[in-house]
């Protein structure tokens, strides 16, 4: 029997870019993932979806699982010979109870490995522009739990030592006890005027930082309604925030952008400028239910004058089937190729194939225009066209091509299906106003979104800025009673991203 193993992985404080490379590699081979609430849920998108997902989080004081139940789940799955990843926010060994879980695994004779994560004790102050050490202000710091019941007779916290022995103090999970914490520090000799800051949701678009003095920070936290998760920093390094704050200055800071298709590098500029991507694909690309029609077209490939690819997916699945049938690009010799969209054209050119025509408008109407211009007699008589495409697609171009006398075959090369997923977390984010822009790249991505979200789908989108690619998508959304605010002239993700950046700057 295969020997199981448990990886205790720190997911970092929230910014998905702070997950370590090693952590990501381990997650991608996970067979079981036991995960917490306080982490960026987008990390779960990078895990094999055949894996077993076990939610063990705590929110609002409610525990989905007790610590004993978590320990048992880790041990049981590992004993079944599975690769188990225990995914925690921050770092497992910094107030993450990772040590307790590791002890159980050792006792059970289960192999484990610890993959550290970036702790919020360091990351949240850093994203707020507060260094924990600085040659002029601080040569030491301490990280302290703020979650202890400090009214109990025998506290494990040496208040006198912390108040007087360290230049910088960092309290985690201390919002609930902030009045008592600040009082204890002042009581044991810390200056009431010591600079203090509280950073909520550090490294996330929701990040909010308040700055005051030790004696007044508790009142300000109440006034500003700062709730967990938050990190408190006390010390002269807080004075550097006005000079060193950088995250909040990013043009897209505060924006969380929903993408309803699989992430690509075209979305990177949004993240570079400070936005967080909420990836929630509402379509999945799969092979067609039958290759019969596509195989028939490939068997007579030399008879076509043109092949039109309307998407990168259409090209990808066509080429894969061509190769599966023991053919290759040499069989395309003499056939002209048209690509709808610059992204599709780039994918084709990566194969060393020449793209003969790209319409100015990246849609069926644009294709009709260029093919009409190809013929001086406004006819496609004698022209044979192959259009490998999705199983469900618009008939605008095929009908026009036949009307002009052309012969066209439209075999299914792939199909877009609605993934089996629930949108509970996304729905909550939308209702709480934590999504500022929602993007849709096709009518299918929107229609599937509505199906997944349920009857109140349009209601939760009404206060969100909607960005789309192309008028067909816009029409589907407007038909549902919503307003499309962003639509680029060029129907590409890159152009849409550029328009979102421009919108945010206005």
Looking at the structure, tell me whether residues 72 and 130 fall in a common domain.
no
CA dihedral sign of residues 253, 256, 259, 262: positive
Question: Strand 195-200's sheet: what is its strand order?
Answer: 141-145, 168-172, 230-234, 195-200, 208-213
Looking at the structure, tell me whether residues 403 and 425 fall in a common domain.
no
Task: Quote the pLDDT of residue 363.
Answer: 67
The CATH code of the domain that includes 56 is: 3.40.1010.10
The CATH code of the domain that includes 474 is: 3.40.50.10090
The CATH code of the domain that includes 245 is: 3.30.950.10
Tokens of 230: 């938050």
Write the Ramachandran bin of 104: left for phi over 0, alpha for psi from -120 to 50, otherwise beta.
Answer: alpha
CA distances from residue 417 to 120, 229, 313 in whole angstroms, order as listed: 39, 37, 13
Evaluate the omega torsion of the peptide bond into residue 229 and state whether it is cis, within 30 degrees of 0. yes
Looking at the structure, tell me whether residues 213 and 243 fall in a common domain.
yes
Looking at the structure, tell me whether residues 150 and 91 fall in a common domain.
no
Looking at the structure, tell me whether residues 340 and 486 fall in a common domain.
no
CA distances from residue 44 to 16, 24, 32, 222 in whole angstroms, order as listed: 11, 10, 12, 34
Per residue of the chain (506 residues), give pLDDT as tens: 678 999 999 999 999 999 999 999 999 999 999 999 888 888 988 888 789 999 998 765 667 899 999 999 999 999 999 999 999 999 999 999 999 999 999 999 999 999 999 999 999 999 999 999 999 999 999 999 998 765 666 778 899 999 999 999 999 999 999 999 999 999 999 999 999 999 999 999 999 999 999 999 999 999 999 999 999 999 999 999 999 999 999 999 999 999 999 899 999 999 999 999 999 999 999 999 999 999 999 999 999 999 999 899 999 999 999 999 999 999 999 999 999 888 899 999 999 999 998 887 766 677 777 776 665 556 778 889 999 999 988 888 889 889 888 899 999 999 988 887 778 889 999 999 999 999 999 999 999 999 999 989 999 999 999 999 989 899 999 999 999 999 999 888 999 999 999 999 98
Distance CA 134, CA 349 (A): 52
Looking at the structure, tell me whether residues 274 and 313 fall in a common domain.
no
Contact 396, 365 (CB under 8 A): yes
**HEC string for 405-437:** CCEEECCEEEEEECCCCCCHHHHHHHHCCCCCE
Angle between helices 493-505 and 342-349 (to 10 degrees): 140
Contact 319, 292 (CB under 8 A): no
Looking at the structure, tell me whether residues 321 and 467 fall in a common domain.
no
Looking at the structure, tell me whether residues 29 and 72 fall in a common domain.
yes
Q: Where among 361, 392, 416 does a domain terminate?
A: 416
Looking at the structure, tell me whether residues 86 and 199 fall in a common domain.
no
Beta strands (DSSP E) in 78-121 are 83-88, 111-115
Q: Is 155 helix (H, G, I), strand (E, B) or coil?
A: coil
Tokens of 7: 């990886």
Q: Is 131 helix (H, G, I), strand (E, B) or coil?
A: coil
Q: Where among 356, 385, 416 does a domain terminate?
A: 416
pTM for the predicted model, two decimal places = 0.85
Looking at the structure, tell me whether residues 290 and 400 fall in a common domain.
yes
For the chain, the domain total comes to 4
Element counts in the chain: helices (H) and strands (E): 19, 23
Q: Where among 379, 394, 416 does a domain terminate?
A: 416
Q: Is 453 a catalytic residue?
A: no
Q: Residue 65 belongs to what domain range? A: 5-118
Looking at the structure, tell me whether residues 219 and 295 fall in a common domain.
no
Q: Is 36 a catalytic residue?
A: yes
Contact 157, 148 (CB under 8 A): yes
Which one from 3, 22, 29, 58 is the annotated catalytic residue? Answer: 58
DSSP 24-44: HHHHTT-SEEEE-SSS-GGGG
Distance CA 119, CA 185 (A): 23
Task: Quote the pLDDT of residue 359.
Answer: 84
Nearest to 9 by CA among 120, 116, 119, 99: 116
Looking at the structure, tell me whether residues 298 and 410 fall in a common domain.
yes
């Amino acid at each position: 029997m295969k020997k199981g193993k448990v990886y205790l992985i720190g997911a970092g404080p929230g910014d998905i870019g702070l997950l370590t490379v090693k952590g990501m590699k381990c997650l991608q081979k996970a067979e079981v993932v036991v995960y917490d609430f306080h982490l960026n849920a987008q990390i779960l998108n990078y895990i094999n979806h055949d894996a077993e997902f076990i939610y063990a989080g705590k929110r609002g004081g409610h525990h989905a699982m007790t610590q004993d139940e978590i320990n048992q789940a880790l041990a049981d799955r590992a004993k079944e010979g599975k690769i188990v990843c225990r995914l925690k926010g921050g770092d497992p060994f910094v107030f993450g109870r990772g040590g307790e879980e590791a002890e159980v695994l050792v006792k059970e004779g289960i192999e484990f490995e610890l993959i550290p994560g970036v702790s919020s004790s360091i990351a949240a102050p850093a994203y707020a522009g507060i260094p924990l050490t600085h040659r002029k202000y601080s040569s030491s710091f301490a990280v302290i739990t703020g979650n202890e019941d400090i009214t109990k007779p025998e506290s494990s916290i040496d208040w006198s030592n912390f108040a007087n022995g360290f230049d910088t103090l960092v309290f985690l999970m201390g919002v609930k006890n902030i009045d008592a914490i600040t009082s204890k520090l002042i009581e044991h000799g810390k200056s009431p005027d010591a600079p203090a800051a509280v950073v909520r949701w550090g490294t996330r678009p929701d990040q909010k930082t308040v700055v005051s003095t030790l004696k007044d920070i508790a009142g300000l936290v109440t006034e500003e309604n700062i709730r967990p998760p938050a990190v408190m920093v006390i010390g002269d390094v807080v004075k550097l925030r006005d000079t060193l704050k950088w995250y909040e200055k990013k043009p897209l800071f505060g924006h969380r952008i929903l993408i309803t298709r699989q992430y690509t590098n075209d979305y990177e500029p949004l993240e570079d400028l400070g936005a967080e991507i909420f990836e929630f694909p509402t379509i999945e690309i799969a092979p067609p239910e039958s290759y019969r029609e596509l195989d028939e077209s490939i068997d007579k490939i030399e008879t076509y004058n043109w092949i039109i690819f309307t998407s990168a997916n259409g090209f990808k699945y066509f080429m894969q089937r061509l190769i599966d049938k023991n053919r290759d690009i040499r069989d395309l010799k003499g056939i002209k190729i048209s690509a709808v969209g610059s992204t599709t054209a780039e994918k084709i050119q990566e194969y060393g194939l020449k793209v003969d025509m790209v319409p100015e408008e990246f849609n069926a109407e644009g294709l009709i225009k260029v093919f009409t211009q190809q013929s001086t007699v406004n006819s496609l008589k004698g022209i044979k066209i192959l259009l490998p495409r999705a199983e469900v697609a618009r008939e605008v171009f095929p009908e026009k091509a036949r009307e002009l006398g052309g012969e066209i075959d439209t075999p299914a090369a792939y199909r877009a299906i609605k993934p089996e997923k629930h949108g509970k977390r996304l729905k909550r984010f939308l209702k709480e106003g934590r999504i500022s822009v929602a993007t849709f790249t096709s009518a299918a991505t929107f229609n599937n979104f509505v199906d997944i979200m349920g009857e109140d789908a349009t209601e939760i989108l009404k206060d969100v800025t909607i960005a789309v690619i192309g008028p067909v998508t816009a029409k589907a959304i407007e038909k549902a009673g919503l307003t499309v605010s962003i639509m680029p002239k060029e129907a590409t993700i890159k152009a849409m991203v550029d328009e979102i950046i421009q919108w945010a700057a206005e």
